């Protein structure tokens, strides 16, 4: 029995210890950089980042939890230090016994919030990764922080826990096989006619604009002609000015209509010179209508 116990102790003594990289990454969510942002928005964003990192299998510590674990004399010195300095970030990380100090950023502009997430290493306080999302509306803050977390976490794991970095699996595609649930088109992607350039609709769109302008100038030329035929002018110079305006509007109207027809014809040729398939979309074509008191122009079809 003594020999059996001795053998067990020898085997356990020779067993390799778990490498440090196998331990979960510990992250401290430090107080954010969010001057002027309402406190409830800041708290909501911080809690979302906390939950997001927890779902990735990390050990996450809130700043409030760190504050509760510090003596009163040390609390202000640690949490009130300047986070722009590396020494402060080292102090924060060491006080929380964390590998990484994560600082969220919320800056409010007229166009929306700029959302940012920065990760610093406790060992030296240096930046490991950062990511920013500009122009975020208030109802998009959580999605923006999720995006920032997904972008920041991989380089952090690569630097501190390479063994835990997720490896992207490239799906094997079998020729002729179709992804389950696929219906022939990709979700969220525009369906483009096979063999037709994606920009094929642009000449028709430009042609529609030119047709509209040509129609407008033609109507103006008609108004000039009406005033010249039925109006009375105080001086011959006024009559000549009205005549010149009519000539100019008629020339511009004719040019606009010619260019518009050319643009529509270009798109039509691009769509007609291709093979037809079951997934074809309707070609874009302009519609123009002219009436006694004005005109209208529009587009009918599916834009790629």
What DSSP assignment string belongs to 214-241? Answer: HHHHHHHHHHHHHHHHH---SSHHHHHH
CA 190 – CA 174 distance, rounded (Å): 24
In Å, how far are 17, 18, 20, 236 from 23, measured between CA atoms? 12, 8, 6, 95
Q: Which of 12-26, 127-141, 287-301 has the highest mean pLDDT?
A: 127-141
List of E strands, 18-171: 26-29, 59-62, 100-109, 112-121, 127-136
Q: Dihedral sign for Cα 247, 248, 253, 256, please.
A: positive
Of 16, 52, 210, 248, nearest in space to 131 by CA: 52
- Least confident interval from 100-114, 116-130, 155-169: 155-169
Query: Over 70: is that where the pLDDT of 299 sits?
Result: no
**Inter-helix orientation angle 39-55/141-160, to 10°:** 40
In Å, how far are 41, 118, 197 from 109, measured between CA atoms? 15, 20, 39
pTM reported for the whole predicted model = 0.49
CA 30 – CA 83 distance, rounded (Å): 9
Task: Encode pLDDT of 141-159 as tens digits.
Answer: 999 999 999 999 999 999 9
DSSP string, 145-177: HHHHHHHHHHHHHHHH-GGGSPPPPPPPPPTT-
CA 225 – CA 242 distance, rounded (Å): 8
Q: How many CB atoms lie within 10 A of CB 108?
A: 16
CA 87 – CA 82 distance, rounded (Å): 9
- Tell me the mean pLDDT in the region 187-191: 36
Query: Over 60: is that where the pLDDT of 76 sits?
Result: yes
Looking at residue 250, its pLDDT comes to 87
Task: Encode pLDDT of 208-247 as tens digits.
Answer: 888 888 888 889 888 888 887 887 777 878 778 888 888 9
Query: Over 70: is that where the pLDDT of 185 sits?
Result: no
Write out the H or E segment, with its range, that includes residue 268: helix 236-272
Element counts in the chain: helices (H) and strands (E): 8, 7
- Least confident interval from 42-51, 189-198, 293-302: 189-198
* Per-residue confidence band for 295, with pLDDT thresholds at 50, 70 and 90: low
């Amino acid at each position: 029995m003594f020999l059996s116990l001795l053998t067990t102790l020898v085997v356990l003594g020779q067993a390799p210890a778990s490498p440090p990289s196998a331990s979960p990454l510990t992250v401290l969510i430090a107080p954010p950089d969010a001057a002027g942002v309402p406190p409830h928005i800041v708290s909501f964003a911080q809690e979302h980042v906390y939950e997001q990192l927890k779902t990735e299998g990390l050990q996450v510590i809130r700043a409030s939890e760190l504050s509760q674990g510090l003596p009163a004399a040390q609390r202000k010195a640690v949490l009130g230090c300047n986070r722009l300095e590396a020494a402060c970030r080292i102090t924060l990380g060491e006080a929380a016994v964390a590998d990484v100090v994560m600082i969220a950023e919320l800056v409010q502009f007229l166009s929306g919030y700029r959302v940012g997430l920065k990760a610093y290493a406790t060992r030296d306080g240096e930046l490991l990764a950062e990511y920013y999302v500009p122009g975020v509306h208030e109802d998009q803050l959580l999605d923006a922080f999720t995006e920032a977390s997904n972008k920041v976490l991989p380089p952090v794991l690569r630097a501190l826990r390479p063994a835990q970095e997720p490896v992207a699996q490239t799906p094997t595609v079998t020729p002729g096989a179709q992804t389950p649930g696929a219906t022939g088109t990709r979700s969220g992607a525009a369906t483009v006619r096979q063999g037709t350039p994606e920009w094929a609709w642009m000449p028709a769109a430009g042609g529609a604009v030119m047709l509209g302008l040509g129609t407008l100038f033609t109507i103006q030329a008609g108004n000039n002609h009406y005033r010249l035929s039925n109006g009375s002018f105080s001086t011959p110079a006024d009559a000549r000015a009205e005549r010149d305006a009519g000539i100019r509007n008629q020339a511009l109207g004719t040019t606009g209509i010619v260019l518009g027809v050319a643009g529509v014809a270009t798109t039509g040729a691009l769509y007609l010179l291709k093979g037809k398939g079951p997934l074809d979309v309707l070609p874009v074509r302009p519609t123009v209508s002219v009436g006694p008191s004005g005109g209208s122009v529009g587009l009918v079809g599916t834009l790629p």
